[in-house]
Amino acid sequence: MFDVPLPFDAFNALSDPDAQARIAAARAQLGRRAVILCHHYQRADVFKHADLTGDSLKLSRLASQSDAEVIVFCGVHFMAEVADILSRPEQIAILPDLAAGCSMADMANLAKVERCWRELATVLNPDEQVTPVTYINSAADLKAFCGAHGGIVCTSSNAPKILEWSFARRDKVLFFPDQHLGRWSGYKMGIPMERMVIWNPDLELGGLTPQQIRAAKIILWHGYCSVHQMFNPGQIARFREKYPAGKVISHPECNFEVCAQSDAVGSTETIIRVVKESAPGTRWLVGTELNLVERLAGEVKPEGKVVQFMADTICMCSTMQRIDPQHLAWTLENLAAGNVVNRIMVPQHEARLAKIALERMLATS
């Protein structure tokens, strides 16, 4: 490896066409040594360079199956962590911009979850009564926490199946960080709303009484996705009034009322599949991130299908947007020059426990 990486400042000043040209040149030099993974929410000028695309679960699996020496993950921090955990020891995972995080993932951290576990122990025996379930949109140390406490990881596509696995082992679930995915999944399993309670980590006992905790089936963390919070039932009502034959599909990170008023609810992969398999001429209102919706709209337009974004304002994953052509060009040129920049390395003890929770998920789903 070269001792001095190529500085980013020079790349930051590149025009978009120049950045695109340098990405192409660096990729040609790297060949099969590097693989580029892109999440569906990635911006179009980066997504076009993807070797592999998908949602969190699909990309987790693809990362572990890649033969490349380097996994360049165009997504957010927790995704690159999963790639590092599941990839072979000799493989390297890179995030082109370390500022590409997830505001929802940041709403639950290890200190708060451990304090929650201690407070639950004043009411219950959590290691015997509660299965911790973390959404894949979380830090590696929370996945490790679940691995250490008999818990598991879930995604938006397998959450109901993961809850079934959890309840087969213990009576209750602590679900973090996204309350909406947990609530919708529990509702679809027939769990009464009053038995799904919100744990506010800033309040003693999460703001709950001992009686509420004992009666709960799912303890939902007070977390949410800022993108999916932008959608509301009024947007659906206006769409249905204007297009009575139109269909509505939403991501389960949306609030309960949006999901309940949708014709279908599912992960990004499900949304893509359902819309693509629908009849020609169908009109859809889609409640998920803007980049995915715009890409999908273009792909199905030749079939006469119309795909509309649910929100009234522009709403995209702003942190994932940080990975732009300039960052990707910088990353790839450094790799071609023998420099590894922005490597994501999960500490070994965390990776071991997190992998247990992830492998439980992969085996179950």
- Given a cut of 80, whether residue 286 has pLDDT beyond it is yes
The gap between the terminal CA atoms of the chain, to the nearest Å, is: 40
Cα separation of 151 and 131, whole Å? 5
State residue 2's pLDDT score.
43
For 303, the domain range is 228-309
Q: Are residues 202 and 121 in the same domain?
A: yes
Residue 360 lies in a domain: no
Q: How confident is the model at residue 3 (pLDDT cuts 50, 70, 90)?
A: low
Q: Are residues 181 and 271 in the same domain?
A: no
- 76-90, 133-147, 163-177: the lowest-pLDDT one: 76-90
The more confidently predicted of residues 297 and 313 is: 297
If you write DSSP's letter for every residue of 299-322 in order, what string do you get?
Answer: HHGGGT-EEEESSSS----TTGGG
Residue 135 neighbours by CB under 8 Å, 6+ apart: 153, 154, 155, 156, 159, 175, 176, 177, 178, 181, 182
Residue range 162-182: mean pLDDT, rounded: 98
Residue range 290-311: mean pLDDT, rounded: 96
Cα separation of 231 and 156, whole Å? 17
| Residue 68 contacts residue 91 (beta carbons within 8 Å) | yes
Cα separation of 175 and 177, whole Å? 7
Tell me the percentage of the chain whose pLDDT exceeds 90.
85
If you write DSSP's letter for every residue of 268-289 in order, what string do you get?
Answer: HHHHHHHHHHSPTT-EEEEES-
State residue 86's pLDDT score.
92
Helices (H), the chain: 8-12, 16-30, 44-47, 56-65, 77-86, 110-120, 126-129, 140-148, 159-167, 179-188, 210-215, 233-242, 256-260, 268-277, 290-300, 325-336, 348-364
Q: Are residues 90 and 111 in the same domain?
A: no
Residue range 13-26: mean pLDDT, rounded: 95
- Given a cut of 80, whether residue 137 has pLDDT beyond it is yes
Cα separation of 254 and 184, whole Å? 9
Residue 207 lies in a domain: yes
Q: Are residues 114 and 220 in the same domain?
A: yes
pLDDT of 301-355, one tens digit each? 999 999 999 998 766 666 777 899 999 999 999 999 999 999 999 999 999 999 9
Q: Are residues 86 and 185 in the same domain?
A: no
As a whole number, the mean pLDDT across the chain is: 94
Residue 71 lies in a domain: yes
Residue 354 lies in a domain: no
Q: Are residues 145 and 246 in the same domain?
A: no
Q: How confident is the model at residue 1 (pLDDT cuts 50, 70, 90)?
A: very low
Q: Are residues 155 and 255 in the same domain?
A: no
Tell me the percentage of the chain whose pLDDT exceeds 70.
97
Which of 209, 225, 241 is where one domain is finished?
225
Residue 2 lies in a domain: no
**Backbone angles phi and psi of 41, in degrees to 5:** -85, 0
Residue range 58-64: mean pLDDT, rounded: 78
β-strand 92-94 against 130-135: which pairing, if any?
unpaired
Task: Find tokens 């790297």 and name the residue.
Answer: 30
State residue 78's pLDDT score.
93
State residue 65's pLDDT score.
84
CATH number of the domain where residue 204 is located: 3.40.50.10800
Task: Find tokens 């679960």 and name the residue.
Answer: 57
The more confidently predicted of residues 117 and 103 is: 117
Residue 364 lies in a domain: no
Q: How confident is the model at residue 63 (pLDDT cuts 50, 70, 90)?
A: confident
Which of 260, 284, 309 is where one domain is finished?
309
Number of domains present in the structure of the chain: 3
Helix (H, G, I), strand (E, B) or coil at 162: helix
Q: Are residues 36 and 52 in the same domain?
A: yes
Q: Are residues 180 and 244 in the same domain?
A: no
Residue 161 lies in a domain: yes
Tokens of 363: 């085996």
